C-alpha cells in the first residue's frame, strides 16, 4: 500500500468519502471537507502514521495528492 492509498482509505473510514470519487487531484472542497475536517484528519494521521499536518501546512494544502507528498517529505511511511 502506498501512502496515497492509505490516505484514501482513511478518508473513507473517517469521512465516509467513497474511494472511487477520489483522485490525487481531488481538492478537499470537491470532497465536501472543510477546515475543521482537515484538523480532524490531521489528528487521525498523527495517530496512524505518527506524522500530522500543522495549521500553516494545512492552509497551503489543496489536494489529496498534496497531502501524500507533504507526508512523504516529513518522513511518513505506511
Partner 1 sequence: MPVSEAGGNAHDTITITGLGLVTPGGVGVEKSWQSVLRGEGTATTDPALEGLDVTMSCRVPDFDGSELLGRRARKLDRFVQLALVAAGEAIQDAGLDHNTWDGARVGVVMGCGMGGAPTWEQQHSVLLERGPNRVSPHLIPRMIPNMAAGHVAIDFDAHGPNLCTATACASGATAIGTAMDLLRLRRCDIVLAGGTESGVTPLSIAGFDNMTALSERTDDPGRASRPFDVDRDGFVAAEAAGVLVLERASDADARGARRYGTLAGYGASADGHHVTAPDPQGAGGELAVRAALADAGLSPEEVDHVNAHGTSTPLNDVSEARMIARVFPHGPAVTSTKGVTGHALGGAGAIEAAFGVLSIHHGVIPPTANMESQDPDIDIDVVAKSPREGSVEVVISDSFGFGGQNAVLAITAN
Binding site for partner 1 (CB under 8 A): 15-17, 32, 36-37, 39-40, 43, 47
59 burial (CB, 10 Å; 0-12 / 13-18 / 19+) is: exposed
Q: Give the H/E segment covering residue 72.
A: helix 64-73
CB of 32 to partner 1, least distance (A): 7
**Is the Cβ of residue 5 or residue 40 nearer to partner 1 in the bound state?**
40
CB of 43 to partner 1, least distance (A): 6
**Is the Cβ of residue 15 or residue 51 nearer to partner 1 in the bound state?**
15
**Is the Cβ of residue 39 or residue 59 nearer to partner 1 in the bound state?**
39
Q: How many residues does the chain have?
A: 78
Q: Rg of the chain's alpha carbons, rounded to an integer?
A: 11
Amino acid at each position: 500500500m502506498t501512502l496515497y492509498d492509505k490516505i484514501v482509505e482513511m478518508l473513507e473510514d473517517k469521512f465516509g468519502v467513497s474511494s472511487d470519487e477520489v483522485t490525487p487531484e481531488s481538492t478537499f472542497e470537491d470532497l465536501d471537507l472543510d477546515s475543521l475536517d482537515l484538523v480532524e484528519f490531521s489528528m487521525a494521521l498523527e495517530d496512524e502514521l505518527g506524522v500530522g499536518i500543522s495549521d500553516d501546512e494545512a492552509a497551503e494544502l489543496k489536494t489529496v495528492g498534496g497531502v501524500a507528498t507533504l507526508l512523504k517529505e516529513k518522513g511518513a511511511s505506511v
